[in-house]
Structure 1
């Protein structure tokens, strides 16, 4: 008799626990259904399961009308589950006509379920009889079998929909459906004892004692692949279960040890009371864990106040930097404000500010690393802040580098496209301009000789401008070969009448490089032509050409003592249409710059080598990626 009373109490507690679990999960799912509407059907299933479990408690407490009403509302559970299954399977899959029709008819299914429930309540579909274990149990009778059959059919329909979804989905969706099948099989195994008394079987309510696990497993199986929050809750629940089992084991050991030591007072305390008290202590410990952890963190890491809002603010402000200068300034400002002391941040050899604490970010073999120095006097909390900030800065440096590389690639693509378009335009303009120039040249044959000479001079200037424009806007195709420098320079200098200009050639006879001879000749002719234009009428004029080999490069310098260039002009010297030479096109130096760049070299103007004007350019002796 005592065992039977204890089993009744356990069954009642299990039903209360199942009600609480189902109700909590229903509320949680309903809250999250704001973002995933399909969870509303599963929330309804959980709510109906909570009411169904509550119906068993009402029957035990002699509330037969309310208890029978809740148990006869059984068809609404598979109705909600069928609704959820249809929505879950249709999401992200090819819709079949029968599935569309079933989804459209779900309202009629709810109506039929409510109608079956009302018929069951009004036509006497159940009875209460004495049970083998429980004082009273629920059994179906009369129209109650219709209620049971309708419920089973709805469950079969829901699982048929899931079977279809399992066959036609992949990845996490398929895993979720598989988890639903496993949880549904477990729930069916447990809940079948509900109908055993109706068939005269005395197995009720033993399987029902594990019923609280059913709603938890079902909901977790559905959402574990969809929502990270569910996995966090499951992690805490599993931890709580393991702790509870360990607690039961410790209590059993304590009772045994106390009995052996003769401490009968403690040994005779009921195990369930010890477990209840210990569970309350465990709950209190869990509730105090976070406040105590925060207190310990403040004691161990004083001054470290890092939360999600601060980290998001850091990320947003670092992400707003468009270049290395801005990123270094933003990082220095943020870290200085957080620490309350001056910090030096170094990125890509950029130094900003002063201070003993230094944060530097460097790249090595494609990976960014942040190093902190001067933090020896910081408390542990502030050192933790610096380390967290350094990890964010390291990530932002990698992202910024990728962004700048993409921007540079896009700039080069647009520049290449622009040159192609400009080349086509220049070719068309050259054709259209040379036709009238030829007509003008032929028409000038009958005019005065002096006027004809003037016309021919201007026509040559126009033709030279057209030729330069075609060279500048055209595509450079380089044909590399071995070029000995001194013979090339000697042949080019002989093409000019230097008159009173002193020409100095300081180029080793054995010096050579690999380049396009025609393009290199263009560069040297343009530079020599410019020098000749400024030096030919100047007294004591000098032109010095020197070349030398530096590591894997060849450097050439063309010095002259002609008029110095205005610094304002020197800054824009290699841009098109910038010229100080009378009659010049303004494209000569721009063409030179294009050719040198194509050879992977560099060119610049200098005025710090003891000469009024120096053009210095260097070319690789063996350019990369050259066949």
Structure 2
């Protein structure tokens, strides 16, 4: 009775069960196995299980250790890969196979428990495809943001190049051109062209979080070097730029990135809505217990309440034609220096942006 009961369980089991001899010949199968493979597996001459399941090497399963290893690699919870099987109507399926040895009349057999995991593999593949698509779209979006960032950062030095060359061209057209001034404007244009190339190089390092360009810098010299650009920008809006940076302040930083930080903050202040007062922008530096603080403030209308929570979010802007990258880039630069950027009340009555470089090393 026990043998009959066990046989009925195997015959009616929802999992495909196949018994094979040590050569891989199928000696018995249940109805689930026949249905899964699309034909009766028990016939004469005997069929080989390798006809239905690829890469199945049963002859090597001669010891309990080998069988245990095979089962560990084959089950869904294991670290192995699923086997490919030829399902009904020739369709390809994925299966997990576990085996158990038994003997009858001194002949050794293997009972194979075949679990169809095709739906699981299909679902996993779909998830992987979705992840790939999401990653691909994210990279496309990131590429667009990077392109916008590069355009935004190059706009300032390239505009300065155009202005200096225009000034030199105007002098050349005069009856008695001032060669000294012409040379000066050309040298300034050359300097800004070199700065544009440097911006690209430093942006690459910024995106890869490379701090190899950081070195001790005199902050007054860092700011003074970009004053010609700031003066040109201020002239467009009849603004006044004030500097309060001690020549004794020496900070370990990336010179070009900090210049880009100051340029972005000043341009942001100059682009603020017009008021009935002449625009004033103050750039100041101060050594603190936590590092070095750079403060850029203005006497404009201040930060709009609806923008307070989105100031440093990429692509968020209230300017007509603005790309919303200036303050986002500022935050990236400050964080690359181990610091933080935040807004605060301006002593001039408008908006203030405080940048603290917390890991700066003083010389």
TM-score, with structure 1 as normaliser? 0.26
Tell me: higher relative CO, structure 1 or 2? Use CA pairs within 8 A at least 6 residues apart: 2
Q: Which has the higher helix share?
A: 1
Q: Which has the higher strand share?
A: 2
Higher Cα Rg: structure 1 or 2?
1
